[in-house]
Amino acid sequence: MPSRPLLVPDAVRFFAGSQEGLVSARQCRQAGLTGQQVHRLVAAGRWSRVLRGVYDTGEPGDLGLDGHDRRRRRAAVLGPLAYPGSIATGVAALVLHGVQGAPRLVTPEVTFPDGSPRGGAGPVVVRRTPLRRHAAPFGVPCAVVEDALVQAVPTVGRSHAVALMDSARQRRTLGRAAFERAADRARRRPGGLARAGWWRSSDPRAESPAETWARLSCIDAGFGPDLLQLPVDDAAGREVARVDLAWLLPDGGALLTEIDGEAVHGTLAALHRDRERQNRIVGRRTIVQRFTGSEAWDGTVAARVGEVLTAERWHPQAPPAGFRLRLQA
């Protein structure tokens, strides 16, 4: 008589839901699954072994992330699962805090609170970084955002580093004082002076990594935006849009540039909303451009913006605080 299918406890499903389908052997034991039962699940093909003591249950994540962010979070959570008692650090920790801007491929990395050396194997990097404090979003131990940012910046390029800074500040997981402490600490680390300008380039108004990349590329090309998140009002004074990047033109008009992130703007409904919104901000004295995140990354935005601004004889302006663009009827 065939044995009845093994039921996976709800507690295991709960762990897997916030860990992109992964669970540790320790979590299985806490939920009442024996090692033999875990072996049965693997042998039956229902689960697969990822690393020693870490299993993929095949459960979908509960956090509603897109494919890229799922893979990032899955890599980030792997370290603490593979090394019980450890704490995720660097980029991995920032991903666990929900900070955007990480590279597509995230290296699992951890440390132990006392910084003691441990043997590392497989894809997980075990660092010797003592930590006096840590957080545990969704129950996964990781460095606090301030510490994680200091750890992460030297390991990624400028575009990703500034995007991580912008996101941490925009999402308010890192306040102004903590950001300034992190920047000061980073300057005192090896190579920190060479990266000091990265920290000065950060701007918490960027609402996506793509906006950060577009801004940086335009600054590098000599066309830094006059305004970020510019409110645009119709002729009656009603706000109809808030534009990502804007340049004020000598004739009183404006170049308005929108950066579309795939996750936010990729659905048909979103495309219709974007088209309607664009139609509302097109006017006699506005030039409207839309770009994808890929175009923000590869320099296309800077090139196209530069063409328009050169033709319009643009020069940098410093609009008064609270400036709003009002469309003419």
CA–CA separation, 238 and 327 (whole Å): 10
pLDDT of residue 277 exceeding 60: no
pLDDT of residue 261 exceeding 80: no
Are 108 and 63 within 8 A, CB to CB?
no
Structure tokens at 140: 């996964």
Structure tokens at 242: 């808030």
Phi, psi at 135, each rounded to 5°? -120, 175
- pLDDT greater at residue 234 or residue 42: 42
Q: Nearest Cα to 138, choosing from 270, 20, 10?
A: 20
pLDDT of residue 1 exceeding 50: no
Mean pLDDT of 145-167: 98
* pLDDT the model gives residue 264: 42
- pLDDT greater at residue 85 or residue 277: 85
Q: Nearest Cα to 295, choosing from 304, 306, 287?
A: 304
- Helix, coil or strand: residue 236: coil
233, β-bridge pairs: 239, 326
Percent of the chain with pLDDT over 70: 91
Q: How confident is the model at residue 122 (pLDDT cuts 50, 70, 90)?
A: confident
Contacts of 315 (CB under 8 A, 6+ apart): 250
pLDDT of residue 186 exceeding 90: yes
pLDDT of residue 41 exceeding 70: yes
Structure tokens at 252: 């009183």
At 137-151, the pLDDT tens digits run 999 999 999 999 999
Cβ-count burial 313-327 (b if 16+ within 10 Å, e if not): ebeeeeeeeeeebeb
Percent of the chain with pLDDT over 90: 79
Domain ranges of the chain: 10-56, 89-200, 209-326
* pLDDT the model gives residue 5: 76
Q: How confident is the model at residue 285 (pLDDT cuts 50, 70, 90)?
A: confident
- Average pLDDT over the chain, rounded to whole? 91
Structural Rg of the chain based on CA atoms = 24
* pLDDT the model gives residue 276: 54
If residue 145 lies in a helix (H) or strand (E), which one and from where to where?
helix 145-152
* pLDDT the model gives residue 3: 62
Phi, psi at 49, each rounded to 5°? -85, 125
Mean pLDDT of 158-187: 97
Q: Nearest Cα to 134, choosing from 87, 77, 66, 196?
A: 87
